[in-house]
Amino acid sequence: MCYDIKTSLETQLKRAEKDQDLQAIADIRERLAPLTDLPLHHASGFSHPEVLIYTDRSSYFPIVATWGLVPHWTKNTEQQKKLWNATLNARGETLFEKPAFKHAAQHQRCIIYVDGFYEHHHQAGKTYPFYIRHKEGQPLALAGVWSEWKNPETRGLLRSFSIVTTTANTLMQHIHNNPKLKVPRMPFILPLESEDAWLKPIMDNVDKEGIQKMIAPSFEGQLTAHPVARLRGKEYQGNVACVSDEVVYPALIAS
């Protein structure tokens, strides 16, 4: 699962900076940055924040999209609102099968750059939030799928995305131990060498099989995690910088 993330404009521009087009980066800051919700020290997917995503249309120039994929075939606003809370994540194992995702999986994959993500650990009937990031502080490139939907009622265009998930690596198996789930999960983090391949259009079944095989537990030994303050309820601090700071829970130390 991946319902909570941390990201900033600087992190989201890392891919654009690889192209070394200074004018393009300036354009992104001027035209797109004001349209996003950045910085997001903590954002829940259920609040449907707007961030920058990179697509195959222009792999180094991002677009603004809303978290929670709305398929192109959505009939109206009522159906949209029912769908997008259920499409924050897309299971990698069934990406090419599920009606909400199969068109996007085939034709519209994307990358979302984040500083890290949050997950809840279950222990003795209580939950404890953890913040997970790269050990070296590098951005994480999360694999995603995206869609464009034209609202027939307002005629407005909505671009939206879902984060692809896979089975958990060793660290996430310990953290993401929700008893309601059969198998712990995590977002599919793209290794640097796989980013371009993820965005490359699928031309035949060989390409499709390659994408499917790519989706697997990743970043073994490269992530670190620590507990943080509550991300839900009355104790939640909101979208503030300290929300990702480490917090000591005596119950976790005792275990």
> Which residue in the block uniquely carries the two structure tokens 């995702």?
101
CATH of domain 4-254: 3.90.1680.10
Task: Calculate mean pLDDT across residues 47-54.
Answer: 96
**Which tokens is 189 given?**
């983090």
Confidence of residue 253 (pLDDT cuts 50, 70, 90): confident
Evaluated on CA atoms 167, 209, 59, 69, the torsion sign reads: negative
- Burial label for 227, CB within 10 Å (0-12, 13-18, 19+), is middle
Q: What is the pLDDT of residue 18?
A: 83
- Tens of pLDDT, residue by residue over 65-74, are 999 999 999 9
Judge contact between 98 and 83, C-beta under 8 A: no
Task: Calculate mean pLDDT across residues 73-97.
Answer: 95
Average pLDDT, the chain: 94
Q: What is the pLDDT of residue 254?
A: 62
Confidence of residue 179 (pLDDT cuts 50, 70, 90): confident
Name the residue among 181, 76, 66 with its Cα closest to residue 121. Answer: 181
Q: What is the CA radius of gyration of the chain?
A: 18
Q: Which phi-psi region, left, alpha or beta, contains residue 111 (left: φ > 0; alpha: ψ -120 to 50)?
A: beta
Name the residue among 109, 35, 104 with its Cα closest to residue 70. Answer: 104
- pTM for the model: 0.96
How many CB atoms neighbour CB 48 within 10 A?
17
Q: Does 19 score more than 90 pLDDT?
A: no
Q: What is the pLDDT of residue 182?
A: 87
Q: Does 146 score more than 70 pLDDT?
A: yes
- Separation of alpha carbons 90 and 96, rounded Å: 10
Bridge partners for 166 per DSSP: 186
- ω before 152 within 30° of 0 (cis)? no
**Can you give the chain as a three-state secondary structure string?**
CCCEEEECHHHHCHHHHHCCCHHHHHHHHHHHHHHCCCCEEEEEHHHCCEEEEEECCCCCCCEEEEECCCCCCCCCHHHHHHHCCCCCEEEHHHCCCCCCCHHHHHHCEEEEEECEEEEEEEECCEEEEEEEEECCCCCEEEEEEEEEEECCCCCCEEEEEEEEEEECCHHHHHHCCCCCCCCCEEECECCHHHHHHHHCCCCCHHHHHHHHHHCCCCCCCCEEEEECCCCCCCCCCCCCHHHHCCCCCHHHHHC
Confidence of residue 156 (pLDDT cuts 50, 70, 90): very high
Looking at the chain, the whole-number percentage of residues with pLDDT higher than 90 is 82
Going from N- to C-terminal start, the domains of the chain cover 4-254
- Tens of pLDDT, residue by residue over 233-252, are 999 999 999 999 999 999 89
Q: What is the pLDDT of residue 58?
A: 86
pLDDT-wise least confident of 31-35, 185-189, 240-244: 31-35
